[in-house]
């Protein structure tokens, strides 16, 4: 009860601050829309897709996962600013739940990602993308789990390194191979065997496959439950680890 | 209200490949009574903030015991958190929030209901004369206004003890005097106030009792008056050229009225005497007799800096 209340309190505060600065919606949507408009048209011939809509079914889920990964991983910057302002320290001398300090923030990030995902999906509908609503909601659950994990990990790392100068290269170094090895931009079906072998060890590759299967309307595919399970476990681990960082040296 | 025994903390720092252990706090014993303003005086790096952060549950002590407002710091930090307020040194407000939002949020972090939190925020804004700016963003405040918001945050849940880390650092003299009044007002409301400072005048004017900290240890503790009285007598400062200083020291050392003699680095002597008024003529006579020319002579009653100097061999102003 107290935990839920504490989480809601932090979530409300963070959301309020985010809404005060609505530029993020524009910034958050601008880049994916550019991909949608300027990159996706190349895909139909490149993927040998029968129609543009088929190409979108492959590309849009990847784009959304990309958004969830990056949107989450860079949330740590905001936390470092809060650390510097003393807001975190001030929170830590109160009896508020340490997990709520993390989860309130991460859930805000999940919600803001959902808003972006909905906008992108709606835009893609204009380009003849068609998805069943049930499948779409499951895909959004996958995205939410990814964003929860990446934002929690980003917060945890931010608390550890405490400086933007260290966080930026660190997150870029992690994000780049994750991105390339997940078949986000182009499916890894084109990849040589050794590359696919490495990608199999990349959990995000499973998440992308699962999301694509959902967009393809293939609910029964093993990839769906595999992707969901892997991201759920990783999200739980990420939250657990990051919450410990919030509680560190403070029992 | 606060009782600590042998509180210790060391940090490991890495310089290149070597790890060094720095003993930031080496066994601090403190007894702070209810309703007093207790000052923690010492140079930067003396371990004041580390001690304070331990008492405020922000870092875990390596050893020792502490009871804070009746709660055991080691066994029940969560209860300690409920009973104390803490105002950090570097600020604690968010640029994009307003004072009212910050106060309501902070009260609610203590489990206070929304309606009650709003009432408390309004009352605190009023008490700290912030109502006029209450709904402006914190980034528009002056240093003094912002510090007042931060103090208000620290006491919004009516704690028994409030810890203020260097509450007046960086404030202009007027805001500083204002802050002293605020702190006295907290005491008048029955709160125990624990502050750290490196300002001698602040410790002297504001605090009921002080502990002087140096190098991770408490080197003296008591009321400012008692501490100054401990250094018996007055101090006579003799201004001399650097060249003449050693000879003058030789001349005056061993004089019956000089209890202690120290040379000042930039030339001159510091004499600890029982009675300044009778010592000065004798000093003048001896130096004149030795053919030494002095530039100035000054009598001063002991200050907390002298207390610090006798306890540590350094001046607080230099360190």
pLDDT digits (tens, 9 = 90+) for B207-260: 999 998 888 888 888 888 888 877 767 888 888 888 888 888 888 887 888 888
A90 closest CB neighbour out of B60, B78, B106? B106
Residue B62 at interface with chain A, using a CB cutoff of 8 Å: no
* CA end-to-end span of chain A: 20
How buried is residue A113: exposed, middle or buried, by Cβ count under 10 Å (0-12/13-18/19+)? buried
> What does the pLDDT average to over A227-249?
90
Q: In a 10 Å sphere around its CB, with 0-12 CB exposed, 13-18 middle and 19+ buried, how is residue B2 labelled?
A: buried
Supply angle C-alpha B88, B1, B41, rounded to 5.
50
Locate tokens 């080691």: which residue?
Answer: B74
pLDDT for B318 equals 60
Least confident of A114-118, A137-141, B200-204: B200-204
pLDDT exceeds cutoff 90 at B122: yes
Once rounded to an integer, what is the mean pLDDT over residues B285-304? 82
A4 vs A64: CA distance, rounded Å: 29
Using a CB–CB cutoff of 8 Å, tell me whether A91 touches chain B: yes
Structure tokens at A11: 């979530």
Confidence of residue A192 (pLDDT cuts 50, 70, 90): confident
Measuring CA to CA, how many Å separate B116 from each of A53, A60, B105, B108? 55, 48, 11, 9
Most A CBs within 10 A among B52, B60, B105, hence the mutation to make, goes to B105
Distance CA B207, CA B226 (A): 13
Residue B281 confidence (pLDDT): 87
CB contact under 8 A, B77 and A250: yes
* Burial of B273 per CB tally in 10 Å (0-12, 13-18, 19+): buried
Question: What pLDDT is attached to residue B120?
Answer: 95
Q: Where in chain B is the domain with CATH 3.30.70.100?
A: 232-301
Backbone dihedral region for residue B267 (phi beyond 0: left; psi -120 to 50: alpha; all else: beta): left
In a domain, residue A181? The reply is: yes
B192-197 vs B37-41, strand pairing mode: parallel
Closest CA to A77 of A145, A169, A146: A169
User: Contact B84/A89, CB-based, under 8 Å?
Assistant: no
- Calculate the alpha carbon distances from A45 to A49, A79, B244 in Å: 7, 43, 94
- CATH node for B232-301: 3.30.70.100
Q: How confident is the model at residue B274 (pLDDT cuts 50, 70, 90)?
A: confident
Q: For residue B54, is pLDDT > 80?
A: yes
Give the residue with greater pLDDT, B304 vs B113: B113
Q: Show Cβ contacts of residue A183 under 8 Å, excluding neighbours closer than 6 positions.
A: A62, A189, A191, A199, A205, A208, A209
Subunit contact B56:A93, Cβ cutoff 8 A: yes
Q: Is residue A8 exposed (0-12), middle (13-18) or buried (19+ Cβ within 10 Å)?
A: middle
- Whether chain A has a CB inside 8 Å of the CB on B95: the answer is yes
d(CA B258, CA B278): 11
Of A6, A9, A85, the CB nearest to B95: A85
Residue A242: closest CA among A140, A110, A101: A101
Cβ proximity of B151 and B87 under 8 Å: yes
**C-alpha separations of B101 from A91, A104, B138 in Å:** 14, 17, 10
- Helices first, then strands: H and E counts in chain B: 11, 14
Is A43 part of any domain? no
Closest chain B C-alpha to A100 CA, distance in angstroms:
10
Q: What pLDDT sits at residue A251?
A: 40
**Residue A139: pLDDT over 90:** yes
Is pLDDT at B269 greater than 60 in this prediction?
yes
- From the number of C-beta atoms within 10 Å of its C-beta (0-12, 13-18, 19+), residue B19 rates as exposed
Distance CA A131, CA A135 (A): 7
Closest CA to A119 of A39, A54, A32: A32
B58 touches chain A (CB under 8 A): yes
Q: Cβ–Cβ contacts within 10 Å for residue A172, how many?
A: 11
- Measured distance CA(B241)–CA(B239) in Å, rounded: 7
Among chain A residues, CA nearest to B162: A93
Helix (H) or strand (E) holding B121: helix B114-127
Average pLDDT value for chain A? 88
Contact A93 B59 (CB under 8 A): no
Return the minimum-mean-pLDDT range out of A65-69, B144-148, B203-207, B227-231: B227-231
The pLDDT assigned to B37 comes to 94
What local confidence, expressed as pLDDT, does residue B200 receive?
Answer: 83
Q: Which among B58, B84, B92 has the least Cβ separation from residue A87?
A: B92
Q: How far apart are CA B39 and CA B205, in angstroms?
A: 10
If we measure between CA atoms, which residue out of A46, A73, A102, A41 comes closest to residue A204? Answer: A73
Q: Kindly state the DSSP code that residue B229 receives in the 8-state scheme.
A: H
- The verdict on a CB contact (< 8 Å) between A20 and B93 is no
Residue A45 lies in a domain: no
- Neighbour-count burial for B201-239, b at 16+ CB within 10 Å, e otherwise: ebbbebbebbbbbbbbbbbbbeebeebbeebebbbbebe
User: With contacts defined as CB-CB under 8 Å, which chain A residues touch B94?
Assistant: 17, 82, 85, 87
* Interface contact flag, A95 B153, Cβ < 8 Å: no
Cα–Cα distance for residue pair A65/A51, rounded to 1 Å: 22
The whole-model pTM stands at: 0.82
* Assigned domain for A94 exists: yes
Kindly determine whether residue A251 and residue B60, on different chains, have CB atoms separated by under 8 Å: yes
What value of ipTM does the predicted structure carry? 0.85
Determine the topology of domain B2-225 in CATH. Answer: Rossmann fold (3.40.50)
Domain annotation covers residue A16:
no
- pLDDT score of B232: 64
Contacting residues of B for A90, CB less than 8 Å apart: 86, 88, 92, 106, 153
Distance of CA B5 to the CA centre of its chain: 20
pLDDT of residue A249: 52
- Give the range among B10-14, B187-191, B193-197 with minimum mean pLDDT: B10-14
- Is B88 in contact with A86 (Cβ distance < 8 A)? yes
A100 contact residues in B (CB cutoff 8 A): none
Q: Which candidate from A21, A87, A95 shows the least CB-CB separation from B78?
A: A95
**Residue B289 near residue B247 (C-beta atoms within 8 A):** no
> What's the whole-number mean pLDDT along residues A173-190?
81
Question: Per the domain annotation, does A15 fall within a domain?
Answer: no
Sequence-distant (6+) residues with CB within 8 A of A202 are A177, A178, A181, A182
pLDDT bucket at A43, cuts 50 / 70 / 90 = confident
Q: How far is A160 from chain B (nearest CA, A)?
A: 15
Q: Is pLDDT above 80 for A159?
A: yes
> Residue B40 pairs with which residues in a beta bridge?
B196, B211
Percent of chain B with pLDDT over 70: 98
DSSP one-letter code for B287? H
Q: Which residues contact B261 (CB under 8 A, 6 or more apart)?
A: B249, B252, B253, B269, B270, B271, B272
Please compute the mean of the pLDDT values over residues A130-145 and round it to a whole number.
92
Are A32 and A184 in contact by the 8 Å Cβ rule? The answer is no
Give residue A215's domain range: 2-10+22-37+51-247
Distance from CA of A79 to the nearest CA of B (A): 12
Give chain A's count of helices (H) and strands (E): 12, 0
- Looking at the 3D structure of chain A, how many domains does it have? 1
Which regions of chain B carry the CATH code 3.40.50.300?
Answer: 2-225
Better-scored residue on pLDDT, A243 or A43: A243
Put simply, the answer to whether A20 touches B96 (Cβ < 8 Å) is yes
Provide the angle, in degrees to the nearest 10, between the axes of the packed helices B173-188 and B143-155: 20
State pLDDT tens for residues A75-117.
999 999 999 999 999 999 999 999 999 999 999 999 999 988 9
């Amino acid at each position: 009860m107290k935990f839920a209340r504490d989480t809601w309190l932090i979530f409300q505060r963070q959301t309020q601050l985010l809404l005060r600065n609505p530029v993020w919606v524009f910034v958050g949507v601008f880049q994916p829309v550019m991909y949608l408009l300027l990159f996706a048209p190349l895909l139909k011939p490149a993927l040998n897709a029968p129609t543009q809509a088929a190409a979108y079914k492959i590309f849009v889920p990847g784009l959304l996962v990309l958004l969830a990964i990056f949107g989450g991983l860079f949330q740590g910057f905001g936390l470092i600013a809060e650390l510097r302002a003393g807001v975190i320290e001030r929170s830590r001398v109160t009896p508020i739940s340490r997990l709520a300090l993390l989860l309130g923030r991460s859930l805000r990030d999940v919600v803001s990602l959902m808003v972006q995902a909905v906008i992108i999906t709606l835009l893609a509908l204009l380009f003849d993308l068609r998805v069943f609503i049930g499948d779409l909601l499951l895909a959004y659950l996958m995205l939410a789990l990814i964003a929860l994990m990446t934002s929690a990990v980003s917060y945890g790392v931010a608390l550890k390194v405490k400086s933007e100068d260290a966080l930026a290269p660190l997150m870029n170094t992690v994000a780049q191979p994750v991105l390339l090895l997940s078949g986000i931009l182009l499916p890894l079906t084109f990849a040589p065997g050794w590359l696919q072998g490495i990608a199999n060890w990349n959990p995000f590759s499973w998440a992308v496959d699962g999301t694509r299967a959902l967009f393809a309307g293939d609910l029964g595919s093993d990839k769906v439950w595999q992707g969901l399970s892997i991201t759920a476990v990783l999200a739980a681990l990420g939250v657990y680890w990051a919450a410990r960082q919030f509680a560190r040296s403070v029992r | 209200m606060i009782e600590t025994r042998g509180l210790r903390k060391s940090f490991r720092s890495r310089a290149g490949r070597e790890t060094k252990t720095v003993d930031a706090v080496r066994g601090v014993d403190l007894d702070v009574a209810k309703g007093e303003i207790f000052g923690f005086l010492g140079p930067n790096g003396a371990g004041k903030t580390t001690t304070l952060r331990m008492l405020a549950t922000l870092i875990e002590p390596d050893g020792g015991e502490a009871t804070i407002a009746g709660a055991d710091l080691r066994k029940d930090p969560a209860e300690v958190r409920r009973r104390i307020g803490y105002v950090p040194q570097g600020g604690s407000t968010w640029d994009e929030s307003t004072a009212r939002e910050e106060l309501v949020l902070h009260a609610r972090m203590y489990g206070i209901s929304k309606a009650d939190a709003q009432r408390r925020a309004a009352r605190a804004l009023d008490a700290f004369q912030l109502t006029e700016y209450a709904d402006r963003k914190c980034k528009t405040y002056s240093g003094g206004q912002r510090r007042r918001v931060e103090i208000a945050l620290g006491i919004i849940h009516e704690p028994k003890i409030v810890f203020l880390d260097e509450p007046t650092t960086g404030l202009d003299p007027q805001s500083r005097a204002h802050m002293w009044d605020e702190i006295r007002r907290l005491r008048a409301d029955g709160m125990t106030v624990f502050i750290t400072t490196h300002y001698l005048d602040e410790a002297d004017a504001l605090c009921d009792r002080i502990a002087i900290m140096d190098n991770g240890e408490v080197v003296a503790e008591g009321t400012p008056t008692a501490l100054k009285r401990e250094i018996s007598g007055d101090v006579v400062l003799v201004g001399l050229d650097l060249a003449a200083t050693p000879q003058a020291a030789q001349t005056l050392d061993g004089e019956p009225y000089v209890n202690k003699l120290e040379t000042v680095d930039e030339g001159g002597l510091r004499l600890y005497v029982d009675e300044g008024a009778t010592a000065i003529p004798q000093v003048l006579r001896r130096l004149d007799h030795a053919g030494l020319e002095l530039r100035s002579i000054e009598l001063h009653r002991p200050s907390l800096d002298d207390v610090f100097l006798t306890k540590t061999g350094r001046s607080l102003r230099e360190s």
